[in-house]
């Protein structure tokens, strides 16, 4: 049976996991956009906190093997989401910029 204090620790670890993931993504993306290496590197502190939260939850015997595996996969997947989404957004904006340049060179282009 899980005690009340254990439930609070698991909730706290979950909050560390979620907050760490959000702050990691925010600082990494903002640092990358602003070309600030300090923000990018400080985002890794929150990535480590996120993983610590996951590992604390996974080591607890209250969860079945399926849930432990799912949490581990989610934790490691969240490490790559900010990088991959920035890559996608850079490609989308580069493609839109190319289309804008093509439209401006088009003699039949009308700017309303």
Tell me which of 91 and 111 has the higher pLDDT: 91
pLDDT of residue 25: 94
pLDDT of residue 99: 83
Show the tokens assigned to 101. Answer: 């340049």
Share of the chain above pLDDT 90, in %: 67
Contacts of 54 (CB under 8 A, 6+ apart): 17, 71, 72, 74, 75
Asked if 74 contacts 20 with a C-beta cutoff of 8 angstroms, the reply is: no
**Residue ranges per domain, the chain?**
4-105
Residue 102 pLDDT grade (very low, low, confident, very high; cuts 50, 70, 90)? confident
Residue 68 has pLDDT above 90, yes or no: yes
């Amino acid at each position: 049976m899980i005690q009340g204090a254990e439930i609070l620790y698991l909730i706290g670890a979950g909050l560390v996991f979620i907050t760490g993931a959000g702050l990691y993504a925010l600082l990494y993306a903002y640092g990358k956009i602003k070309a600030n290496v300090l923000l990018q590197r400080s985002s890794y502190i929150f990535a480590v906190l996120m993983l610590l939260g996951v590992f604390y939850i996974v080591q607890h015997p209250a969860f079945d093997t399926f849930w432990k595996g799912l949490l581990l996969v989610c934790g490691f997947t969240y490490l790559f989401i900010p990088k991959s989404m920035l890559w996608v957004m850079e490609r989308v904006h580069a493609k839109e910029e190319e289309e804008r340049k093509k439209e401006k060179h088009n003699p039949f282009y009308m700017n309303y």
